[in-house]
A and B are shown apart, each in its own frame.
Chain A
Amino acid sequence: DAGITQSPRHKVTETGTPVTLRCHQTENHRYMYWYRQDPGHGLRLIHYSYGVKDTDKGEVSDGYSVSRSKTEDFLLTLESATSSQTSVYFCAISGTGPPGNTIYFGEGSWLTVV
């Protein structure tokens, strides 16, 4: 295991409510990522962080925000959840960064928006 803990692992929430997913790492890695996984789409990058308070948008960032106040924690927030955000969310970390950085994934958070 790559020392990544995601919480909660499973959550059901109602449309319009805010949701925060937490990713905690014990590896002191610089890079942290949030991906979502949907059938037929593979994994798509939502946001990533390259350091404390340094974040950037990924491919599917609309409706999501992130924060990283400590090296070990990376939070993903859905300000007002919609049914299209029902997905499996994976946090990932990368220590070496470029070149050819290996990305390690957590075990996922299953989110259902009803």
Chain B
Amino acid sequence: QQQVKQSPQSLIVQKGGIPIINCAYENTAFDYFPWYQQFPGKGPALLIAIRPDVSEKKEGRFTISFNKSAKQFSLHIMDSQPGDSATYFCAASMYAGNMLTFGGGTRLMVKP
């Protein structure tokens, strides 16, 4: 049973567009939600993370929106660039825990 569901599986946008990747979780004990970015042939790397005491967090062109009541969170990439083409994973854990549960991943392609 997948505790974190991610959509879409793949996404194609034009340069400058705003891709949005959505995740939904089931375990209400989760209270730490990071996003990881993975380039081909590399391991995932932490991009941005949020805790449920805020509804939005921005770091550069990347924004996480969080809806606690709906148990959903999403990643928005502003002014997307071809260099953002990668696979993105959402994840969740308990802030006081040491194990991450990952979503299935979204392969993003940003066309020039």
List residues of chain A with CB under 8 Å of any chain B CB.
Answer: 4, 31, 33, 40-45, 48, 50, 58-59, 90, 92, 94, 97-108
Contacts of B51 in A (CB 8 A): 100
- Which B residues from 80 to 112 make CB contacts under 8 A with A? 89, 94-105
Contact A42 B103 (CB under 8 A): yes
Q: Determine whether B61 belongs to the interface, using a CB cutoff of 8 Å to chain A.
A: no
Contact A42 B102 (CB under 8 A): yes
Residue among A42, A59, A98 making CB contact with B89, cutoff 8 Å:
A42
Contacts of A33 in B (CB 8 A): 99
Provide 12 A-B residue pairs closer than 8 Å at the C-beta atoms, listed in order of the A residue: A4-B43, A31-B98, A40-B104, A42-B89, A44-B102, A50-B98, A98-B96, A100-B32, A100-B51, A105-B44, A105-B45, A108-B43
Contact B43 A106 (CB under 8 A): yes
Q: Complex: how many Å from CA A105 to CA B34?
A: 14
Contact flags (1/0) for B56-85 with A, using CB distance below 8 Å?
000000000000000000000000000000
Contact A43 B9 (CB under 8 A): no
Q: Using known A-B contacts A42-B6, A42-B103, A42-B105, determine if residue A97 contacts B44 with beta carbons closer than 8 Å.
A: no
Closest 10 CB pairs of A and B: A105-B43, A42-B102, A43-B102, A99-B95, A98-B96, A42-B104, A42-B105, A105-B44, A100-B32, A100-B95
Contacts of B4 in A (CB 8 A): 42
Contacts of B45 in A (CB 8 A): 104-105
Q: Complex: how many Å from CA A92 to CA B95?
A: 18
Output the least CB separation between A11 and chain B (Å): 16
Contacts of B95 in A (CB 8 A): 98-100
Q: Using known A-B contacts A90-B43, A107-B43, determine if residue A101 contacts B98 with beta carbons closer than 8 Å.
A: yes
Q: Using known A-B contacts A42-B89, A106-B43, determine if residue A98 contacts B97 with beta carbons closer than 8 Å.
A: yes
